[in-house]
Amino acid sequence: MYPLFGIINIEITLRGDVKVIKHIILWNFQEGKGSEEDKLKIKNELEGLKDKIPGIIKIEVVTTPIAGSNADIMLNSTFESIEDLNNYQVHEEHIKVAEFVRSITCNRMCMDFFSVDD
């Protein structure tokens, strides 16, 4: 049993090939938001968390979706463990960045999953 974000408990059997936890988020910008400055700030601040929060293997922020996409921005991050993802969620540096992101985005979608890829 692993606590997920301290709220949900999931029961899993870890196979030997599961290596990492993927944390993917998609957002749209609020009406009138999403300037190049906003995109750059989100990208730099989220990607900068890798050097500030332990357990992050990779953070990539995509701010230039291909035409036809139905999201404006994506966070693709990889963590060493569920515990590391949970710690990231409540870390003060993440909370600061998340407050800014929430102030200019809407329609957040999130998916966390076990992966063999890093």
Q: What is the pLDDT of residue 116?
A: 84
15 vs 57, which has greater pLDDT?
57
* Residues 6+ positions from 90 with CB-CB distance below 8 Å: none
What does the pLDDT look like over 38-96, one tens digit per residue?
A: 999 999 999 999 999 999 999 999 999 999 999 999 999 999 999 999 999 999 999 99
Q: What is the pLDDT of residue 19?
A: 83
Residue 15 near residue 98 (C-beta atoms within 8 A):
no
Domains observed in the chain:
18-115 (3.30.70.100)
Q: The pTM is what? A: 0.82
Most confident of 1-5, 18-22, 52-56: 52-56
